[in-house]
A and B are shown apart, each in its own frame.
Chain A
Amino acid sequence: MHIIVCIKQIIDPEVPFHLFRIDPVAKRQIQGTHPLVISTYDEVAVEVALQLKEKVGGRVTALTLGKKEALQALHQTLAMGADDAILLSDLNFEEMDSFGKARVLAAAVRKIGEFDLILCGRQAGDVELGLVGPFLAGELGIPCVPLVANFEVANGTIRMRRPVETGYEILEAPFPLLATITNDTSNVPRYASVKGLRAAMRAPIPCWSSADLGLSADALGPKPLRIEIDELFIPHREMRCELIEGESGAEKARNLAARLKALGLIG
């Protein structure tokens, strides 16, 4: 089984409100001193890939489209247990929408050659469009199975487990396929060990350009882009929290209960 996981490197999405800054002209977040991390659901997708590999054997390849600093994210996936990693980097790749990104990733998948499964996050942790996965499936002409949390192997068949309102759905679809990955209790990402990281830092990671992929600038989609941020802003929030006081936790609880009752919210 050859599993390709598409990961995106983003600025730590857990940066709190008061440290969050944007560049309204470039229409993106300013990194400042915040770390770059693997996008939340992509890290979950790496975990899902590694668990499946542990069940059925095979190989996991991590693929990212980004700048040179995205090598760090690839090293982390290698340290988690991925077998190979590939960086797709080119100046031509910087002004693209989800259609262009899917096209580049598809070209890379074709260059990699055979594969059984592609995993993407359900949505990237920054702009969160949730489009690259389904578009990539479209480019490759393979089924897109949305919102999968894990793979189960029984009697030689691989099935997918998807959390739904009433519990879980177990799905089957013909391989090769692409699944977008969501989180649940079964796929909390493992840590990369320090030892693993040290070894991974030495692993060579190929970097493919648009020429390596045989993509001309025109092939990356029409300009103006079909999907574009026109304006980015931080909404204004006013502080209005009324704090409930008290000598002890129990007194605060009683005061809270009384306040909620007075407001007609409980009771």
Chain B
Amino acid sequence: MVHILTFCTASQPEIPRHPLELLAAARALSAQLGEGTVHTLCVGPASGAYGEELIHRGADRVLTVECPSVEAEIALAVVESAVRHLAPQVVLLPHDDLSGAYVGPCLAYRLETGIATDCGGFAVQGEDIRWLRPVYGGKAMAYMRIRGPVQLATMRSRAFDPLPADPTRRGEIQSFPADWESVRPQIRVVERLEEKEEGELPLDRAEIIVSGGRGIGSAEGFAVLRELARVLGAAIGGSRPAVDLGWVPHSHLVGQTGKIVAPNLYIAVGISGAAQHIAGAGSSKTIVAINKDSDAPIFKLAHIGVVEEWEKVIPALIEACREWRS
């Protein structure tokens, strides 16, 4: 019997997708390793509201911690205390900014246990888990073996589909007595600067994403892409150079170190198709590439390609889409 702990932050009223993906991963692991309990530690002001849903999606036991905000050091302390208390054999965390870059690594250090970060899957061999993750920017894959008192992994988003909600599933919801109040965070957020992006759809929920790269050449060029996005009702994304050059905000970076997206339609314009970019867009249902270089690697990954300078294609594409609208 293998007990698994998954982690879920609860700061917004609606439950996000990533913790539900973790539950799907946990159930898949549990089915292969011998059914044990899947515990979900749910931390944050909305944790009470998530309980039922987490059980319908695969948790056996939800442990809630209703702290007002989920700061990094508090999250780490709460997860550490849950791991020490419940002694699970496997801990699954989301590979996001909080857990992938902080809670996971710091927890591994404190528990002196190996960790596999940014995992997309696993293979079970007997009692051993081999964790599958991309390496070299996604050009290769590695099965990692980790050793120590617990198997600790951070899972990338979109690696698993959430299980369908089963309202007949039963489980326990309990409050977990973590002493978060005595944590004195050393890292303090003293200011939050909102970067207003008028009219720009968030990447996560968009059905269509129009994404631009270095090949767009200028901020003015990006304005044309934004026009296409508006006509299509799409969100705007960008590659790392497009972000570094200030053409798109950081929150719209697509790729390994940005967002992992999976829209119905991903239109990559002036993007070469580096593995690190594809790592974030590769699961899109249909990928369209517009690039002037027929040898660009993006054409090896795209479903539909147009070899042409974008300046000659995008305005006409906007025109064509507008005609249908009217």
Contact = CB atoms under 8 A, between A and B. Distances in A.
Interface of A: 13-18, 20, 22, 27, 29, 97, 99, 102, 122-123, 125-131, 133-135, 137-138, 143-147, 149, 159, 163-174, 180, 182-185, 188, 224-235, 237, 239-244, 248-250, 252-254, 256-261, 263, 265-267
Contact of A27 (B142, B232, B256, B319): B142
Q: Which of A133, A159, A168 has the most CB of B within 10 A?
A: A168
Interface string B137-181: 101111111111000000000000000000000000000000000
Contacts, number: 247
Given A134-B109, A146-B97, A243 B305 contact: yes
A250 B311 CA distance: 10
Interface string B254-291: 00110000001100000000111000000000101100
A170 B148 contact: no
Contacts of A224: 147
A228 B144 contact: yes
A242 B143 contact: no
B186 interface: yes
A77 B142 CA distance: 31
Contacts of A123: 257
B196 to A, nearest CB: 8
A244 B257 contact: no
Nearest to B128: A230
B193 A242 contact: no
Q: Which of B146, B190, B250 has the most CB of A within 10 A?
A: B250
Given A166-B195, A168-B195, A257-B317, A230 B114 contact: no
Contact of A237 (B72, B102, B265, B301): B301
B316 A250 contact: yes
Nearest to B285: A265
Contacts of A250: 312-313, 316
A172 B208 CA distance: 38
B251 A229 contact: no
A256 B140 contact: no
Contacts of A137: 106
Given A97-B114, A226-B148, A231 B143 contact: yes
A184 B244 contact: yes
18 contacts: A13-B136, A13-B276, A128-B135, A133-B105, A134-B102, A149-B250, A163-B250, A164-B97, A169-B193, A170-B192, A172-B187, A184-B250, A185-B246, A225-B147, A231-B143, A241-B289, A249-B312, A266-B321
Contacts of A237: 300-301
Q: Which of B106, B135, B232 has the most CB of A within 10 A?
A: B135
Contacts of A131: 105, 108, 115, 117
Q: Which of B97, B136, B321 has the most CB of A within 10 A?
A: B136
Nearest to A179: B187
Nearest to B109: A138
Contacts of B109: 99, 102, 134-135, 138
- Size category of the B interface is 35 or more
A261 B117 contact: no
A227 B144 contact: yes
Given A169-B192, A228-B144, A146 B305 contact: no
Given A167-B193, A184-B250, A147 B139 contact: no
Contacts of B324: 257, 261, 267
Nearest to B107: A134
A172 B118 CA distance: 28
B84 to A, nearest CB: 17
B314 interface: yes
B202 to A, nearest CB: 8
Interface in B174-226: 186-196, 208
Nearest to B137: A13
Given A166-B251, A256-B317, A267-B324, A234 B139 contact: yes
B171 to A, nearest CB: 30
Contacts of A170: 189-193
Contact of B188 (A99, A171, A230): A171
A215 to B, nearest CB: 18
Given A164-B97, A240-B303, A253-B319, 7 more contacts: A129-B117, A163-B250, A174-B186, A184-B243, A229-B145, A241-B301, A256-B304
A119 to B, nearest CB: 14
B229 to A, nearest CB: 12
Interface in B294-315: 297, 299-309, 311-315
A16 B297 contact: yes
A232 B140 contact: yes
B305 A244 contact: yes
B190 A159 contact: yes
B321 A226 contact: no
A22 B303 CA distance: 27
